[in-house]
A and B are shown apart, each in its own frame.
Chain A
Amino acid sequence: MSSNSLGYSEQGGETVSELGQEAVPTTAPSASPAFGLFSSDTKRQSSSDDSFYLTSMATTFSVLPEIKKLVYVYLMRYAEEQQDLALLSISTFQRALKDPNQLIRASALRVLSSIRVPIIVPIMMLSIKEAAADLSPYVRKNAAHAIQKLYSLDPEQKEMLIEVIEKLLKDKSTLVAGSVVMSFEEVCPDRIDLIHKNYRKLCNLLVDVEEWGQVVIIHMMTRYARTQFVSPWKEDEEYNEKNFYESDEEQKEKNLKGKKPYAMDPDHRLLIRNTKPLLQSRNAAVVMAVAQLYWHVAPKSEIGIVSKSLVRLLRSNREVQYIVLQNIATMSIQRKGLFEPYLKSFYVRSTDPTMIKTLKLEILTNLANEANISTLLREFQTYVKSQDKQFAAATIQAIGRCATNISEVTDTCLNGLVCLLSNRDEIVVAESVVVIKKLLQTQPAHHGEIIKHMAKLLDNITVPVARASILWLIGEYCERVPKIAPDVLRKMAKSFTSEDDLVKLQILNLGAKLYLTNSKQTKFLTQYILNLGKYDQSYDIRDRTRFIRQLIVPNEKSGALSKYAKKIFLAQKPAPLLESPFKDRDHFQLGTLSHTLNTRATGYLELSNWPEVAPDPSVRNVDAIELVSASIAVTTPAILSPSLVADLEGLNLSSSSVIDVSIPVFVPMKTHELLHRMSGKGLAAHYHFPRQPCIYGDQMVSVQVTLTNTTDEKIENIHIGERKLPSDMRMHEFSPIESLEPEGSITVSMGIDFCDSTQTASLKLCTKDNHFSVNIQPPVGELLLPVIMSERDFKKEKGKLTGMNETSASVTVAPQNSTRLVIVQKVVNVANLGVVPSGEDNIHRFAAKTVHSGSLMLVTVELKEGSTARLIINTEKTVIGSILLRELKPVLSQG
């Protein structure tokens, strides 16, 4: 480090403390743009954010990498709120995009694409396109990331972005694969046709892709397989059918005629085979992804292998367990056999969090069968006693479900639950009552005793659901307990007013049923209750009261319905099915957020059903030759920048003379046609001025030429042949291009010394077979390089360049053009000028020097009253000066 390092270290120290304070939540709103990154001084002046921002921009050139990194962090965070000023930093990154070091190119693209300012969309687009053709896979990976960023910033770029995605999907590097598939999923998940040609390659690369990419690719492949292959499951189903219809001759014939024996597509097999090793990944997300792929895509007989790996994940953290258990719960409903060997892995420990406990319980219940139910019930007995009452209640529900599913143990379970009725904990008792009620309904024949027992409980139990359940039971089976039922009604009539709504409704029900079966004893009681209900506060209860009264109490108005009252109230009710809450989850793809939440999450992509007939499998065939040549197109050197000063610390330019050349404020995306594809026999060429200092010579202007092959044949040996240059003009041509693929395009850079004139450079563009004469004519604005200058220096220099060195004109400025930002933008769009900071609002100054001779070019725009402006140009090169004046005039007056 040089001598100034001490000064920096102080600043660095402050940064730390400032950030520390910022991170602690203070009363200041979090969105305050005063991030306090740099020094407390700037924070104090935060009223003038501009100057602060400029400071931060200046710091972009700072020597210290740490500060630079933090500036980047700041820039990405606040660019959206400070758009105008964020623009000032763009050119730095544009320059870095051409750096010879791939890591610098990559990080420049990363930061550039993270600046969420709509104006720079074209710049981003161009950078992404260039980076996608970069030699370094790391840069291409970043390009794939940038695609998503640009898409979220401006969805209108979709078409162009898809082109880039298509190109990147062809990439054979493992670094790129994951990222580009991610972009694919985000930008155009429906363009499944883009995958065809790359399917086999992706399958083969999969094992070597980084783990996060694997997850994304596997999920995409699952969807792909479901649209492109026929179902491997039919096989099993058909077997059953055949056995069933074996004797049926006709059917047999039909089978033979209609269906071919199922043969798995080799590509389908490839996917299943290549994902298998990933079950051994240390990353839970990868294992889960493979498991869901097997579940949705593999033949049923092969799914077995995933269960072992899923059970392994249960050793992991609480959150991972939660998600994995949820998925196992869904799987275990359909395929019990899958997890049966691992039954004991789902045994609950007292230290598990409640949500894990209930999920494990759910799975245990799903796995219960005749063979293991006795062990399970013993295990459940321990759970029922758990101190975690919520879990104990869930266990009772589980016992209920086992009892209905496995008829052998129904009685045992019922007895066990009845024992629980004497438990001291109310929640446990209440839950038991509810479950017993459901169980009794399935086989009410011989349970008078239990109902009696429960009727006694009414005195003690307070939980409304349980009370309601007991009342319902007594009402439903009132004929079995003829003595108790009226007595219960009498008790309830007394406490009617203080009951919960749920209980009140059941009291009314009980009254109605008793009235119908035993009206002698309960007639008056019921009417009393109906009267109470009539004046209840709840709508529902008043409604129900009115309804019941009309139905059961005969009067002259009551219609035909009351005849059927008994049938209505005492009809045979179907027993409720005790089902797993995970029953309906299987229509969501496993492992997805939607599955976890059991609702469609935004952006969820439905898994399609298997197609009846497989789409043409030949779309996945890749020509070997094509593959090789495609890789050549990628590896041909695209951007040549052999010797630019470069490393992370070297983003500032070396100064050439007294006047410092700065980096361009803005680089227009405008391209000029060099050769039309019609006249070029299919070879099209465009050129573009990147406004970079030329690497081939100080006096040259850099020109980027993009060559595109629009024919369907290779164009070979593209080079520059004979050139007709005016005297003094020099040119550094691009190195010959060996071959250009059909539809391929390549960007090369060259340098031309135009000698500060707008004379055209004529040259011959040659291919193996043809010669084309082409001209490159520079716009005057491109013959300049922007310079950094203070306002005082500007005035001093301007003072030296008066008289015949000054040209000026008056223009009428369109009203919308009068703001600083617009003027700056318009002017730098036309010419490569540097912006001079100005103290006056109505005067804008720009400075540049000519590329060849280094003469100063000073442009002043003075806004006057009444939307007129004065445009003054001071320069020794009067010819260029006047041309520039002519070009600037319409720009300012136009809207």
Chain B
Amino acid sequence: MIHSLFLINSSGDIFLEKHWKSVVSRSVCDYFFEAQERATEAENVPPVIPTPHHYLLSVYRHKIFFVAVIQTEVPPLFVIEFLHRVVDTFQDYFGVCSEVVLKDNVVVVYEVLEEMLDNGFPLATESNILKELIKPPTILRTVVNTITGSTNVGDQLPTGQLSVVPWRRTGVKYTNNEAYFDVIEEIDAIIDKSGSTITAEIQGVIDACVKLTGMPDLTLSFMNPRLLDDVSFHPCVRFKRWESERILSFIPPDGNFRLLSYHVSAQNLVAIPVYVKHNISFRDSSSLGRFEITVGPKQTMGKTLEGVMVTSQMPKGVLNMSLTSSHGMHVFDPVTKLLSWDVGKINPQKLPSLKGTMSLQAGAFKPDENPTINLQFKIQQLAISGLKVNRLDMYGEKYKPFKGIKYMTKAGKFQVRT
């Protein structure tokens, strides 16, 4: 399966390598660099690159390429999914996953990688188990370690690996027992020039933070489970109960985890909570273009739009922009041609707008296409699909936990064509 792993930073240096079978020479990465050069942009590097003796499967995250070397036929998603899991684990351990942080924690990184794969086959990928084996570094622990000489390697044996619920540690104890669930929905949409919706769908997740003593068995039920069209579960959820009763029944992992992600069926019309009025025009004769956008709420069910952020990739011909905004900050980067406007909260009485002119390269033709506008926003305490949690019950433990549910709607990939 996975032979070796190389970590390559954005400037093309291999800053970490790990081999699970015999050693593969670094020179294999030359093929990768070649492909990288051809692709010009990091995003366009093909995830699968064949070389004469090996296959390179790569994942690009946090400005780092994680390149896995394999030798024989293997489902490519297997490797890619695993690499993403590695990145997630690092993020979980160190907060951020960057070259500097990985280099600072190189011992832990090696230890974690060693535990995650055995002979190239995943062994322990559940973060609960890993954390029991190798404790994540914290500032406090680093200080304590230097003074007392103890280490990050857990002195307990990873009994979780043997249990029937490998995602949960045994002997968890809390003084405050609490369980929080966040229902977060994202709207993916493409809006065309005239403001009509081309495609819109809602994807949601339920993220949980569960800090409960012992082995609690939870059930979560919805008011309207029919809304959920397609779901994928954390392994802890009992599928049979869902199939028969549409109830989520599970023994939760300890700490933060994603319980469920779902898709709301496409038949339901999606209420788009925001509109954008725009007037962007280039003229052939003059080197100046007009630029004007206004953002406003619609169908928000009485809630306010927050964290509104507008970004747009301007055509290459645009040299600079002189704009004035009624709200918030706007920045145009003349190098990357990226315009971003941080609007913040929208007051429906006074709609924010951004107006001004664009100066174009002299002599250049007007661009074929107006730039698309990408929109980000948040609406607190609203699940746009109308999904509601009915109740949460706990079995198996005596105490009364504190329960909390929060709803939020966000923009996912929200684009407005102009």
Binding site for B on A (CB under 8 A): 1, 5-6, 8-9, 12-13, 15-16, 19-20, 23-25, 30-31, 64-66, 69-70, 72-73, 77, 80, 101-104, 110, 113-114, 116, 136-138, 142, 145-146, 148-149, 152, 175, 179, 182, 207, 210-212, 215, 219, 277, 280-285, 287-289, 308-309, 311-312, 315, 317-320, 322-324, 341-342, 344-345, 347, 349-351, 353-355, 379, 382, 385-387, 423-425, 591-594, 596-597, 599, 601-605, 647-649
A317 nearest CB neighbor, chain B only: B84
Q: Pick from B76, B110, B231, B415: contact of A349, CB below 8 A.
A: B415
Chain B residues, Cβ within 8 Å of A110: 118
Cβ-based interface call for B229 (8 A): yes
A30 CA to B372 CA, complexed, in Å: 47
A219 CA to B23 CA, complexed, in Å: 28
Q: Which of B67-75, B274-282, B301-309 contacts A (4 or more CB under 8 A)?
A: B67-75
Chain B residues, Cβ within 8 Å of A23: 15-16, 103, 106
Chain A residues, Cβ within 8 Å of B261: 282
A149 nearest CB neighbor, chain B only: B119
A277 CA to B235 CA, complexed, in Å: 11
Most buried by A among B19, B58, B146, B150: B150
Instruction: Verify A596–B153 contact, CB threshold 8 A.
Output: no
Chain A residues, Cβ within 8 Å of B417: 382
Which residues of B (122-174) have their CB < 8 Å from a CB of A?
Answer: 122-123, 125, 145-146, 148-153, 155, 157-159, 161-162, 166
Instruction: Verify B121–A280 contact, CB threshold 8 A.
Output: no
Q: Pick from B72, B374, B413: contact of A603, CB below 8 A.
A: B72
6 cross-chain pairs, A with B, having the tightest CB-CB distances, nearest first: A9-B149, A603-B72, A66-B151, A385-B369, A344-B199, A353-B43
Q: Give me 10 other A-B pairs in contact (C-beta within 8 A), A285-B78, A347-B198 excluded.
A: A31-B25, A80-B23, A179-B121, A215-B75, A288-B75, A308-B230, A315-B203, A319-B59, A319-B84, A387-B313
Cβ-based interface call for B60 (8 A): yes
Instruction: Verify A280–B233 contact, CB threshold 8 A.
Output: yes
Q: Pick from B19, B50, B110, B157: contact of A599, CB below 8 A.
A: B50
Question: If A282-B261, A592-B75, A593-B73 touch, does A30 touch B110 (CB 8 Å cutoff)?
Answer: no
Cβ-based interface call for B215 (8 A): no
Chain A residues, Cβ within 8 Å of B58: 319
Binding site for A on B (CB under 8 A): 1, 13-17, 19, 21-23, 25-26, 41, 43-44, 46-48, 50, 55, 58-61, 70-78, 80-84, 103-104, 106-107, 110-111, 114, 118-119, 121-123, 125, 145-146, 148-153, 155, 157-159, 161-162, 166, 188, 190, 192, 198-199, 201, 203, 229-235, 239, 243, 258, 261, 263, 266, 313, 315-316, 365, 367-369, 372, 374, 413, 415, 417
Instruction: Verify B119–A114 contact, CB threshold 8 A.
Output: yes
Instruction: Verify B47–A319 contact, CB threshold 8 A.
Output: yes
Tell me the smallest distance from the CB of A642 to a CB of chain B, in Å.
19
Instruction: Verify B77–A285 contact, CB threshold 8 A.
Output: yes
Most buried by B among A19, A70, A277, A280: A280
Question: If A282-B258, A355-B46 touch, does A5 touch B232 (CB 8 Å cutoff)?
Answer: no
A138 nearest CB neighbor, chain B only: B162
A15 CA to B153 CA, complexed, in Å: 14
A596 CA to B48 CA, complexed, in Å: 8
A182 CA to B1 CA, complexed, in Å: 9
16 examples of A-B residue contacts, CB within 8 angstroms: A15-B107, A16-B107, A30-B17, A30-B26, A66-B107, A69-B114, A149-B21, A212-B125, A281-B233, A282-B232, A315-B188, A322-B47, A382-B192, A385-B369, A594-B73, A648-B155
Most buried by B among A149, A283, A322, A647: A283
A25 nearest CB neighbor, chain B only: B13
Instruction: Verify A597–B41 contact, CB threshold 8 A.
Output: no
B313 nearest CB neighbor, chain A only: A350
Most buried by B among A142, A320, A423: A320
Chain A residues, Cβ within 8 Å of B125: 211-212
A423 CA to B258 CA, complexed, in Å: 49
Instruction: Verify B73–A601 contact, CB threshold 8 A.
Output: yes
Instruction: Verify A602–B72 contact, CB threshold 8 A.
Output: yes
Question: If A69-B153, A145-B118, A603-B72 touch, does A1 touch B369 (CB 8 Å cutoff)?
Answer: no
Question: If A282-B233, A347-B199, A350-B372 touch, does A66 touch B152 (CB 8 Å cutoff)?
Answer: yes
Instruction: Verify A317–B43 contact, CB threshold 8 A.
Output: no
Tell me the smallest distance from the CB of A376 to a CB of chain B, in Å.
12
A113 nearest CB neighbor, chain B only: B119
Instruction: Verify A593–B81 contact, CB threshold 8 A.
Output: no
Chain B residues, Cβ within 8 Å of A138: 161-162
Tell me the smallest distance from the CB of B272 to a CB of chain A, in Å.
15
Instruction: Verify A1–B43 contact, CB threshold 8 A.
Output: no
Instruction: Verify B19–A212 contact, CB threshold 8 A.
Output: no
Instruction: Verify A64–B151 contact, CB threshold 8 A.
Output: yes
A649 nearest CB neighbor, chain B only: B155
Tell me the smallest distance from the CB of A2 to a CB of chain B, in Å.
10
Instruction: Verify A283–B119 contact, CB threshold 8 A.
Output: no
Most buried by A among B16, B47, B75, B313: B75
Chain B residues, Cβ within 8 Å of A101: 157
Tell me the smallest distance from the CB of B342 to a CB of chain A, in Å.
18
Instruction: Verify A349–B413 contact, CB threshold 8 A.
Output: yes
Chain A residues, Cβ within 8 Å of B78: 212, 215, 285
Question: If A5-B148, A285-B77 touch, does A387 touch B367 (CB 8 Å cutoff)?
Answer: yes
Chain A residues, Cβ within 8 Å of B43: 318, 353
Tell me the smallest distance from the CB of B8 to a CB of chain A, in Å.
10
Instruction: Verify A312–B365 contact, CB threshold 8 A.
Output: no
Instruction: Verify A424–B106 contact, CB threshold 8 A.
Output: no
Q: Pick from A219, A277, A281, A318: contact of B75, CB below 8 A.
A: A219
Instruction: Verify B152–A350 contact, CB threshold 8 A.
Output: no
Question: If A212-B121, A593-B75 touch, does A9 touch B145 (CB 8 Å cutoff)?
Answer: yes
A211 CA to B236 CA, complexed, in Å: 12
Chain B residues, Cβ within 8 Å of A594: 73
A179 CA to B119 CA, complexed, in Å: 11
Instruction: Verify A591–B106 contact, CB threshold 8 A.
Output: no
A5 CA to B47 CA, complexed, in Å: 47
Q: Pick from A16, A77, A114, A287: contact of B106, CB below 8 A.
A: A16
Chain A residues, Cβ within 8 Å of B258: 282
Instruction: Verify A344–B103 contact, CB threshold 8 A.
Output: no
A116 nearest CB neighbor, chain B only: B22
A382 nearest CB neighbor, chain B only: B417
Most buried by A among B19, B230, B315: B230
Q: Pick from A64, A211, A597, A605: contact of B235, CB below 8 A.
A: A211
Instruction: Verify B162–A102 contact, CB threshold 8 A.
Output: yes
A280 nearest CB neighbor, chain B only: B232
Chain B residues, Cβ within 8 Å of A425: 368
Instruction: Verify B72–A345 contact, CB threshold 8 A.
Output: no
Tell me the smallest distance from the CB of A641 to a CB of chain B, in Å.
17
Chain B residues, Cβ within 8 Å of A648: 155, 157
Question: If A69-B114, A349-B415, A387-B367 touch, does A320 touch B46 (CB 8 Å cutoff)?
Answer: no
